[in-house]
Structure 1
């Protein structure tokens, strides 16, 4: 789905493996977030539908450096020679080729490093012809994550700080134990803004911004009451996300695969006292019962839009 937000500025809704895109096709040629690497052909097709040739992109703004938001950065930069801008924390990690803090190695994701030419900081202003976007540093899900706020049009590009009643997974092993508190502070910061509409990093447009942020705050409070809830939420989201990335696994093969990763044993050790198999069966069976995962000829299939 492609929606014109204001003149020359477009929202491109994707799914859950690919982050949503934002395209500005005025005097400035700007792309915000570039999706997942393996789906680059579809990304190019969607960008062209807004009227912008990917070879003409002048600037990529990355809301954070996770693979579903930066997967096309290198290819589009190589094609167009565009500049790439992101928060200074993420710039530091990308320039240092830190595939741990970017989550790529921790979650066994596929992504490429790329040159960054501009750092973005809290309260910086980005001008796209007459459109003013204010940079808001919103850490929690990712230490270098930013949201973009238009005070003139009262909309927010929230990335993974706010979805419709939820938010991106909290990974304390990489982001630190402070991550839940940073997410709490980010939500408080956003709640103070005059926002009518939210364009999230995943999912559809949110027209009741205040209620969506409030529901995220209540959900975070629920998690913080019992930290193992954070662990269970992580397991469910990363199970689904991994099955979108790697859809070839059977029930047994998937367990063997996640046991070989960094993230799964550490999550179980930290939250669930080394109960690797029982927790796997419990969480996976919940996803199957809720029809979020389908067993198709013994293969596990995530029932989400990629």
Structure 2
């Protein structure tokens, strides 16, 4: 059975590297999350087509990972839209501190964008003619927000909950707590009893209880050994590079991974591997998972 959304809501389910986008129509149109920079043209095309020539009034970000805000600059150039970001990120964006914003530490791109206001946990905002509450969702990002509409039982969960897991717990790799925060965020989501969940990646779903059970199982698995979070992050960041570039020379993988500060921290602090050993492990892990294939000295998407 199809999951019912209000007539003023539309979800663009995007493929990696981009996050999903949620478009609210009506007198004060708004887009939640803008995808990755290399998909910005597609983001503009989707929004343009859906709005049928009307302007986009507002742009919001659940958090500022590059795959959720990489299209901000392009949307701002097209629409001059009023942009709201999580309040805790305001100073970093104002100064455009790419280290503090995680773009440099993850080896990812994000064109500079501006913002007009901030959204904090506890704030309520009108989207599509309905009230949405912002809720703190630390975990993959310490300053992330959920957006919840109690009137419709709809949760926009970002990277805090997907149908089959959640995002990489980057704070753990930076020496900050992430497992405990993610557990608390899952508890908060459970208390909402959402009818529909719109995740940051993947299809929308209605069985939040089953998704939460899978997420908790995954969290328990990661908590048993700190190397597991590090291994997951290395695999995800290599896959991200591969998706961005389409192919990578196998001989270049050690240096590519060494150039990403979070990967290097994971290697030194948790994994204890030499560069070549880590690269070989990561390549084999992607191939074993069916996400990539090695052919003629080149790593390719499967």
For normalisation by structure 2, the TM-score amounts to 0.93
Q: Give per-residue Cα distances to partners, 1:151-206, cap 9 Å, x unaligned.
A: 11111111001112211111236754212221111111111112122111111112
Name the CA shift for 1:129/1:237 in 2 (closer, same or farther; >3 Å).
closer
Tell me, in whole angstroms, the C-alpha distance in 2 between the residues paired with 1:101 and 1:52. Answer: 37
Tell me, in whole angstroms, the C-alpha distance in 1 between the residues paired with 2:61 and 2:112. Answer: 13
Displacement of 1:45 after TM fit?
Answer: 1.4
- Find the residue that maps to 1:111 and give its secondary structure: coil
Match of 1:50 in 2: 50
Is 2:85 aligned against 1:111? no
Match of 1:224 in 2: 223
Match of 1:275 in 2: 274
Displacement of 1:145 after TM fit?
Answer: 0.8
Match of 1:235 in 2: 234
CA contact (8 A) 1:166 1:215 kept: yes
Query: Gaps spanning 5+ residues in structure 2: where?
Result: none
Name the CA shift for 1:96/1:160 in 2 (closer, same or farther; >3 Å).
same
Aligned alpha-carbon RMSD (Å): 1.9
Match of 1:79 in 2: 78
Displacement of 1:275 after TM fit?
Answer: 3.5
- Find the residue that maps to 1:50 and give its secondary structure: helix
Aligned residue runs from structure 1 range 1-306, under 5 A: 5-53=5-53, 56-172=55-171, 176-303=175-302
Displacement of 1:65 after TM fit?
Answer: 0.9
CA contact (8 A) 2:141 2:171 kept: no
Q: Give per-residue Cα distances to partners, 1:209-267, cap 9 Å, x unaligned.
A: 11102211221121111111111111121111121122231111122222233222211
Query: Gaps spanning 5+ residues in structure 1: where?
Result: none
Q: Give per-residue Cα distances to partners, 1:39-73, cap 9 Å, x unaligned.
A: 211111111332354x7111100111111111111
Tell me, in whole angstroms, the C-alpha distance in 2 between the residues paired with 1:96 and 1:173. Answer: 25
- Find the residue that maps to 2:24 and give its secondary structure: strand
Tell me, in whole angstroms, the C-alpha distance in 2 between the residues paired with 1:207 and 1:250. Answer: 41
Tell me, in whole angstroms, the C-alpha distance in 2 between the residues paired with 1:248 and 1:49. Answer: 31
